[in-house]
Amino acid sequence: MAGTTVAGTAVGSVVVSYFDPTKYGFFPVCPLFKLTGFACPGCGLTRGFHALFHGEVLTALHFNALIPVWTVIFGYLFLSLVLFAVRGKALPMKVPSPMLLWVFLFGLLAFGLLRNLPFYPFNLLYP
């Protein structure tokens, strides 16, 4: 199962790297954005990762300012899956404290709200 997930993630990463999401319409659209026009905390991640794969860090940050956080999270999970598929032992998955999870969720909510404010400097966060 881990090997399949690693392969699927690798193929997905290659697709995002090769095809520019701003030019190709087969990438999924955020349901919240499609229904309301509001950008969620994850909006812009596909375009941001495409830019990041091409070394365009500032462009990636423009699409989603939280891309460094998501890169660390996704990178850790991917590396853990690779190690589990190869050697049968993943990286340590320490369960974060409930307080840390609440801070993370509150941070996502705050980012989601702030990036939709239509005035400077918050409009810079809009993808």
- b/e sequence 58-76, b meaning 16+ C-beta within 10 Å: eebbbbbbbbeebeeeeee
Q: Determine the length of the chain.
A: 127
Whole-number percent of the chain with pLDDT over 90: 72
Confidence grade of residue 48 (pLDDT, cut at 50, 70, 90): very high
Tens digit of each residue's pLDDT (9 = 90 or more) over 4-37 = 888 899 999 999 999 999 999 899 989 999 999 8
User: Which of helix, strand or coil describes residue 11?
Assistant: helix
* pTM confidence score: 0.87
Ranges of each domain in the chain: 2-125
On the question of pLDDT at 112 being above 80, the answer is: yes
